[in-house]
A and B are shown apart, each in its own frame.
Chain A
Amino acid sequence: MRSAPRTAARRTTLPFYHQSFHNLQELRHNASLSNKVFVQRDYTEGTVCKFQTKFPSELDSRIERTLFEDTVKTLNNYYAEAEKIGGQSYLEGCLACATAYLIFLCMETRYEKVLKKISHYIQEQNEKIYAPRGLLITDPIERGMRVIEISIYEDRGSSGSSSGSSSTTCSSGR
């Protein structure tokens, strides 16, 4: 399914808006994947889920450093909240043990609630910040909580991307 060709009027003049994708749908239909960046886990505080806030060089021309760091820091805070060992986790653990963990069949754990919040947050970030810049964040839970995968898209019409990989697209016949 091809959309109408973009007109020059829709291009913006901001440096990071050289790809004028307005929403996720347009991103998927008009763009082709050119590269992926993987933000690794930060193990300096042990096995808690935390990602490195180091800014990948491939995103240098795509997004402002502060926006990226804010996203990763917020995600780290969410995970810290989920894995916090305190009064609420003790209560949940003791109650669950007393019911032989059958209570988990009907109740959602705190971790699962936070994961839902994370999923909404990532979707919101994708819609507001990343898709207009031709980027897409994958929820870490879909990659085994090992990496934050950021997909870099290039406009289908452009020839030769700065990231150096060529990509051909295959129409899915829809």
Chain B
Amino acid sequence: MISKKAASRRWEKLPGKNTFCCDGRVMMARQKGVFYLTLFLIVGTCALFFAFECPYLALHLSPAIPVFAILLFLFVMAMLLRTSFSDPGVLPRALPEEATFIEMEIEAANANVPAGQRPPPRIRNVQINSQIVKLKYCYTCKIFRPPRASHCSICDNCVDRFDHHCPWVGNCVGKRNYRYFYLFTLSLSLLTIYIFAFDIVHVVLRSVDSGFVNTLKETPGTYPLLVCFFTLWSVVGLTGFHTYLISLNQTTNEDIKGSWSGKNRVQNPYSHKNIIKNCCEVLCGPAYPSVLDRRGLMVEELPTSASLDGTTEVPLSKAPSPHTAPRKTTAPLIPNEHTPEDVKPGIAASLEKSHTSEEERMPTPLNTPCKSPTQDRGPSSPKEKVQKL
């Protein structure tokens, strides 16, 4: 029997509302308009500054001024792109077996509820550093969220140590990219202050030579002055706010919800009660790896014969072992309005063992940029798909 094989990367099948570029290397939210605005503002303002003011300043004051500005600008861009393009710490959704296992545990725990009565909310209590923390169940991802994780409705993902979704960077800010976000706001504050200050110096020096009004007419480099003036307050304010959060080891999400505001003697169990230690943990902690496998390969066998009752997806790994095992479960997944239509209890899940570190990268050409993965997991595809999420 001839069967075609279609190889695809895992990012194409990931659920959630993310956009992927460069064959899965870049991960962003869907709405990118404000991110482009950020880029335009930063690059445009700096371009005007470098083109029209730096020559004058380099001549009359010091060539170190534009050099430092360039370095600062490059650092800001690097931090911005790193924040925007990296995985914020997305937690992959539970595979069907894990979801069923959790459901069975919940059922067992709710066995005492009389029939007809609404079951209690799905919450797990955990004691962390002598503080009771409630872990909520996420109906979309079918997991109990780890502490400090939250579900982002814009990206439709649970993100670990969720801070907030930032439209200016076009991505969520979470465990993996929080330090880059903070360094971005910090360096952008410095850059804004720097450009603002030297813009004023430039205007003053030129006014001494040729008068104030003439200066404003001659150089379009005064436009950065306006942009900087208005953005200065918000960026510096944001940096100050996040410095405060870091010193307390809190996230924006927790601050907004007032999780550790001190009511009912609730204290932040994650804080080391020492500002230096908190800062070190957030900024100098280890670089966490991404647990979302975006670039792993999935090979689908497309059946050409109608007699094939079920095909499996084989990962391109050294020890492949696909096999199907329909399981009889005593507790079907409790349907609710949040459950996406794809996960149905009766469908057998095909299992696969993949060693992502051993998978070889296929040299594929760059796809058209920023494709959204299609959510084609409706009943139209009878094949059993491996959901490596």
Contact = CB atoms under 8 A, between A and B. Distances in A.
A38 B96 CA distance: 12
Interface string A160-174: 000001111110110
Contacts of B343: none
A82 B146 contact: no
A45 interface: yes
Interface string A27-50: 010001111111001011111000
Contacts of B388: 142
B146 A44 contact: no
A35 to B, nearest CB: 8
A146 interface: yes
B216 interface: no
A139 to B, nearest CB: 8
A110 B323 CA distance: 35
Contacts of A136: 353
B310 A93 contact: no
Contacts of B1: 173
B324 A169 contact: yes
A100 B286 contact: no
A167 B280 contact: no
Contact of B127 (A44, A111, A112, A142): A44
Q: What size tier do the contact residues of chain A reach?
A: 35 or more
Interface SS of A by simple majority: mixed
Contacts of A115: 289, 357
B325 A168 contact: yes
Interface string B278-290: 0011011111110
B17 interface: no
Given A45-B128, A143-B95, A170-B310, A119 B325 contact: no
A172 B291 contact: no
A31 to B, nearest CB: 9
Nearest to A119: B357
B321 interface: yes
B82 A101 contact: yes
B211 to A, nearest CB: 41
Contacts of B288: 111
13 contacts: A32-B325, A36-B98, A36-B101, A45-B128, A46-B147, A47-B148, A90-B280, A93-B285, A100-B75, A111-B287, A139-B355, A146-B143, A172-B323
Interface of A: 24-25, 28, 32-38, 41, 43-47, 82-85, 89-90, 92-94, 96-97, 100-102, 104, 109-112, 115-116, 119, 123, 136, 138-139, 141-147, 149, 151, 165-170, 172-173
Given A43-B135, A143-B92, A172-B314, 11 more contacts: A25-B319, A33-B351, A84-B286, A90-B284, A92-B287, A111-B289, A119-B355, A123-B355, A144-B92, A165-B328, A173-B1
Q: Which 6 residue pairs spanning A and B have beta carbons closest together?
A: A93-B284, A100-B78, A28-B321, A144-B92, A33-B325, A170-B324
